[in-house]
Amino acid sequence: MEHGKLAKESRTIMTQIVFPTDTNHHETMFGGKVMEYMDKAAAIAAMRHARMQVVTASTDSLDFLAPIRVGEVIEVEAFVTWTHRSSLEVYVVVQSENLYSGLRTTNVTAFFTFVALGADGKPAEVPYLVPESEEEYKLFESAPDRFAQRRRRIEERKSDGRR
């Protein structure tokens, strides 16, 4: 594939209010619900970059940093940080906002990896990524190390007989 795409072209932001049905008995948001929103935003970002179907291949460094409370608003932001031949790495950050005080907190961060699929359902080549901002360059430059760690982890699981 000859052309590159800017990281900002994939940027996706989802905003949700946290209702009691989204929370556990501590009145904090279920981790699985947060992960669902993160996966959706990441998939949209990956599809915006690839302009084809994608499937989630892995989630790395999923770090829950602070609880999200009932009544707060969450903002889930995702953008492509790096591409390989048919794979895309997407960084996702979740921030909460207390609508009364205006206090914003970074709650969760993670890296999602997707594989782009062509019309035949097989992995397909994606455009290379062009970072612009300082944050985009930092994530882009550190991505090959994360890619190598993922590969090692997958190979170790295969050799252990685990999947």
Q: What is the pLDDT along the chain (163 residues), one digit of tens a residue?
A: 558 999 999 999 999 999 999 999 999 999 999 999 999 999 999 999 999 999 999 999 999 999 999 999 999 999 999 999 999 999 999 999 999 999 999 999 999 999 999 999 999 999 999 999 999 999 999 999 999 999 898 888 888 776 5
In the DSSP assignment, the letter for residue 66 is S
38: nearest Cα among 89, 111, 98, 104: 111
Model-level pTM? 0.93
**Domain assignments of the chain as residue spans, ordered by start:** 4-160
Provide the H-helix boundaries in 12-133: 31-50
At the fourth CATH level, the homologous superfamily of domain 4-160 is Hotdog Thioesterase (3.10.129.10)
The H or E element containing residue 59 is: strand 53-64
